[in-house]
Amino acid sequence: MSISGLPFDDIRSLFDNLAGPDEQAAEKVIQRNQALFGKAPGDIGKIQEWLARWSGVSPVVSRPLVAVFAGTHRGFEGASEKAVLARVTRLAAGGAPLNQICALYDLGLKVFDLALQYPVEDISQADALDEKSAAGTFAFGMEAIAGGIDLLVLADCNSNASPTPAAVFGALFGEEENWSESAEVAEIAAKAVARHRSASEDGLELLRRLGGRESWAMAGAIMAARIEHVPVILDGPGPLSAAAILKACNPNSIDHCLVGQAGTGTVTGSMIQVLGMESILPVTIDMEEGEGAALAAGFVKAAALMHSGVEPIENMLTD
């Protein structure tokens, strides 16, 4: 198959101009914590430093967004239009676990329906998308986070129902590890990896063949967040597979991202480990439609307030 390269040229250029961390902003956090508490406040301090390092300002979380992307796949019932639409409908009606967490922590929530009636191709039999469609969906993901947000929480509607994450991790990190808890998903992913193995050296081409629209949109959102100086929290195999592709393109491209839950002993935990990422909460939540990342966002909001809203005790002393 001939590859023009043109639809991906603009995306590749983004990897060459990634803004680095703002260490001066992080140092100001360290100095203020020293003045407030006489020491670094443990993991809370690390979260505060992370927020400052990647936002470039003092830790503030006033406009967090949980962005959920939904796409469909041919050849797999769990990612069919009917199955994904049911999950999207529950979220839209406010009846999903994620809705309750967002309400509790006052997190903005947007669900993006990515042409559910037009599933991508069965990746065990064909390429998921063509280059133009893939690049267009990446651009949509970049635009989806517009509006001045200061924290992005990324999730999808079918992390456990799509073969894409298992196939991406199998192609990038080897098939010795079990990248899915479902035998059916693992079988489809193995066939897809065998079919598309030749693309494993090119992250974007690999995702074009293996990734659904939700994968491309999430990759675009992660990249846009980096450009706009917005820290990102990921959760579940879907967002992690999008991050894995970006890291394959540029090892520093997901440095602004943390993971919501540790996922110890699960497939998610294995993915986190192989990516070398750090988790915010030292827990395992066996629910992967963004619940772990949203819970972590509540913790991050608290960490930011413990920095910006606290006054030195000396200010409270009176003669």
Which of 73, 79, 247, 263 shows the shortest CA–CA distance to 173? 247
| Band of residue 315 on the pLDDT scale cut at 50, 70, 90 | low
pTM for this predicted structure: 0.94
Catalytic sites, residue numbers: 289
pLDDT tens-place string over residues 2-38: 344 578 999 999 999 899 999 999 999 999 999 888 8
H or E element in which residue 64 lies: strand 64-70
Contacts of 247 (CB under 8 A, 6+ apart): 253, 254, 275
The rounded distance, in Å, linking the Cα atoms of 229 and 143 is 14
Sort strands 108-113 and 151-156 into parallel, antiparallel or unpaired. unpaired
The vertex-202 CA angle with 279 and 113, nearest 5°, equals 60
Look-up: residue for tokens 């006052």?
A: 106
pLDDT tens-place string over residues 46-73: 999 999 999 999 999 999 999 999 999 9
Per-residue burial over 202-214, b = 16 or more CB atoms within 10 Å of its CB, e = otherwise: bbbbbbbbbbbbb
The pair of structure tokens assigned to 81 is 């239009």
State yes or no: pLDDT of 145 exceeds 70: yes
Look-up: residue for tokens 């675009």?
A: 220
Domain ranges of the chain: 28-309
The rounded distance, in Å, linking the Cα atoms of 117 and 73 is 10
State the virtual CA torsion across 165, 242, 210, 177 in degrees, nearest 10.
-30
Distances (CA, A) of 271 to 107, 237, 242: 26, 7, 12
The pair of structure tokens assigned to 282 is 């030292």
pLDDT tens-place string over residues 249-264: 999 999 999 999 999 8
Phi, psi dihedrals of residue 110, rounded to the nearest 5° = -130, 135
Q: Give the class (CATH, top level) of 28-309.
A: alpha beta
Is there a contact between 262 and 235 (Cβ–Cβ < 8 Å)?
Answer: no
**If you count them, how many residues does the chain have?**
319
pLDDT tens-place string over residues 189-212: 999 999 998 888 899 999 999 999
What pLDDT shows up at residue 2?
Answer: 38
Taking only Cα atoms into account, the Rg of the chain, rounded to an integer number of angstroms, comes to 20
Q: Please report how many Cα atoms fall inside a 13 Å half-sphere around the Cα of residue 177, on the Cβ side.
A: 21
What pLDDT shows up at residue 3?
Answer: 46
Among 39-48, 112-121, 274-283, which stretch is predicted with the lowest mean pLDDT? Answer: 39-48
| Band of residue 159 on the pLDDT scale cut at 50, 70, 90 | low
What pLDDT shows up at residue 11?
Answer: 95
What pLDDT shows up at residue 7?
Answer: 84
H or E element in which residue 234 lies: strand 232-234
pLDDT tens-place string over residues 109-119: 999 999 999 99
Is there a contact between 153 and 107 (Cβ–Cβ < 8 Å)?
Answer: yes
Which of 281, 266, 267, 242 shows the shortest CA–CA distance to 69? 242
Alpha-carbon 69 to chain mean position? 10
